[in-house]
Amino acid sequence: MKNINLIFYCVLFLFSTLTTHCQTFEKYYHTSLDDRSSDAIELNNGSYLIVINRGDYFTQFGDFLLLNVDSTGQFIDSLVYNSSDNYNYFGVAILYSINDSVYICTRVCEDENEFHYFNIIKFDNNFNTILDTIVGSPIADQYIFYYLLTFDNKIVINVSETVNNSFYLYEYDLFIDSLSYHPIIDTGGLIYQWPVITHDIPDINRYQVYMFDAYKTIFGVNRINYTIEETYSYFPDNFLPKTSVNGFNDSTYLVAGQLTDYSSGDVRFIPAFFEIDFQGNLLSYNEIDLQNDTSTYLTGKCFVTSSDRIYIAETYNYTNIPPFTIIPEQRWIWLMCLYPDGTLDWQRFYKGEVNYMPYKLLPTNDGGLLIVSNKYDWNDPVPYQRDVHILKVDSTGWYQGLTTGLPEQTKENQILVYPNPASDYVHFAFGYYSNLQIAIYSSQGQQVFTGQFAKKATIDISLLPAGIYTYTINNDNGFFERGKIIKQ
């Protein structure tokens, strides 16, 4: 194995709950480079393999790091994978495990003529390279929207060629290491008709390919001869699909994506998802909206299912469009656990002292969740530097040792309260909850504020004396939460 020296420090240590025996930890990967993580997998021994793209924000990522940490977050091993000088490389997009000892990662590269290709890398448990190949047709203007690992170990790639405005499904067979091209449709020169996600349905021997077009088209594509056998539609018009996952029965699956909302005059993004059956019938639809003066953002690898729950990790509260992670703005990781019908089980808000954006949400074998996010601290002296933040939580979204800014450490609240300590205003973000009553009490038990709010609250505490105050939040459905605010 090839080790590297890295500044990899643990903020929070191991915790094992009495009920779930779930390990929790928090770590940062910090170097002088622009480090961005895009994917992670859990290995059979309970450790985690995390891919980190390294470089500079304004250049391509020339190499990447494979980082292996154990179930407590402790460093095991790492490998820096260098690139060929003949190509410019984009960051690794996908990391797959195809069996107990062989792993795959893929990325896009371009030659000196700016023709785009795919770099497929296969390696084993000891980080030995089994295969490193560059495949693809020499197309200058092609966009890659989605990667899919099929049940029979083929990587299916959605490719849109923008010169003649046609699209393909590329299939890379991991057994025989060969790439095949399957033209699906020529749009006749029309732009903005791109394949965005593909769902594999082996039960009916089809792919369902979602187009980003004016008609919200779903093509039912035969997996053998690649002909379009059925055409369906999805909604709403402003919905961009980003990922799909298997549903909770054998005949449906879930599609998650992003709504673009212009109703307030500013562009807002609203995550949403729907359940659809194999015949293209939409069975349910859920929007995860907040309020009309902020946005949340969902990346494709942060919508997952496990057992009988749906888990979603989003970036909460940003005002810049698009939501680049080099904007000096406070942003939180917002994690939700939903029942299959879309109702909320629990939610948590994490971090927020600087800019965080989650890119990977991974259910783990001990019942917890691994969240891999990218962090941007505008106070860092290295320009445009991003770091990797790794958070392992238990089955309730909690992790050991969270510093709240208060004298004691408690389990995280489901309502986001910030800033805390505060001097003038304190904000309450309800997330997936609504219509909550807030009361604030002095240290002597005197009520100094009460009010009812729909989706959020901003409360002026500037006239209150400095000290520690208790707040309570409740609604008619039995929700109750108590916490403390420090007034400076």
pLDDT in tens, 63-122: 899 999 999 999 999 999 987 778 888 889 899 999 889 999 998 888 888 888 889 999
Q: Which amino acid is at 439?
A: A
Q: How much is the pLDDT for 70?
A: 96
275: left (phi over 0), alpha (psi -120 to 50) or beta: beta
Half-sphere exposure of 154 (CA within 13 A, CB side): 20
Q: What is the mean pLDDT of residues 191-220?
A: 88
Q: How much is the pLDDT for 270?
A: 87
Of 208, 211, 207, the C-alpha closest to 167 is: 211
Q: How many CB atoms lie within 10 A of CB 107?
A: 25
Tell me the residue ranges of DSSP E strands in 237-308: 239-246, 252-261, 268-277, 282-287, 295-297, 303-306
Q: What is the mean pLDDT of residues 23-37?
A: 91
* Position 17 confidence tier, pLDDT thresholds 50, 70, 90: very low
Residue 19 reports pLDDT greater than 60: no
Q: Which long-range contacts (CB under 8 A, 24 or more apart) does 14-19 make?
A: 14/72, 14/73, 14/400, 15/394, 15/399, 15/400, 15/401, 17/394
Residue 485 reports pLDDT greater than 90: yes
Q: How much is the pLDDT for 189?
A: 47
Question: 105 near 96, Cβ under 8 Å?
Answer: yes
* Position 57 confidence tier, pLDDT thresholds 50, 70, 90: low
* Position 18 confidence tier, pLDDT thresholds 50, 70, 90: very low
Distance CA(287)–CA(261), nearest Å, equals 12
What is the 3-state composition of the chain as percent helix, strand, coil, each rounded to the nearest 5? 0, 55, 40
Residue 8 reports pLDDT greater than 80: no
Q: How much is the pLDDT for 14?
A: 39
* Position 293 confidence tier, pLDDT thresholds 50, 70, 90: low
Distance CA(223)–CA(246), nearest Å, equals 18
Q: How much is the pLDDT for 476?
A: 87
Q: How much is the pLDDT for 191?
A: 53
Question: 50 near 37, Cβ under 8 Å?
Answer: yes
* Position 58 confidence tier, pLDDT thresholds 50, 70, 90: low
* Position 20 confidence tier, pLDDT thresholds 50, 70, 90: very low
Of 29, 4, 27, 40, the C-alpha closest to 301 is: 40
Average predicted confidence (pLDDT) for the chain: 86
Distance CA(355)–CA(378), nearest Å, equals 8
Looking at per-residue confidence, does 102 or 33 come out higher? 102
Q: In the chain, what percentage of residues exceed pLDDT 70?
A: 86
Q: Class of 7-140+234-400 per CATH?
A: mainly beta
Residue 430 reports pLDDT greater than 60: yes
Q: How much is the pLDDT for 91?
A: 86
Q: How much is the pLDDT for 441?
A: 96
Q: How much is the pLDDT for 113?
A: 83
218-232 pLDDT per residue, tens:
999 999 999 999 999
Residues 6+ apart with CB under 8 A from 466: 487, 488
Q: Judge: domain 425-487, CATH 2.60.40.10.
A: yes
- CA dihedral sign of residues 320, 326, 328, 333: positive
Residues in a beta bridge with 356: 375
314-342 pLDDT per residue, tens:
999 877 676 778 888 899 999 999 999 99
Question: 269 near 317, Cβ under 8 Å?
Answer: no
Q: How much is the pLDDT for 61?
A: 65
pTM of the model: 0.91
Q: How much is the pLDDT for 402?
A: 59
Provide the residue ranges of all domains of the chain, joining segments of one domain with +. 7-140+234-400, 425-487
The two tokens of residue 247 are 């549903």
* Position 410 confidence tier, pLDDT thresholds 50, 70, 90: low
Residues in a beta bridge with 217: 233
Residue 473 reports pLDDT greater than 80: yes
Q: What is the mean pLDDT of residues 296-321?
A: 90
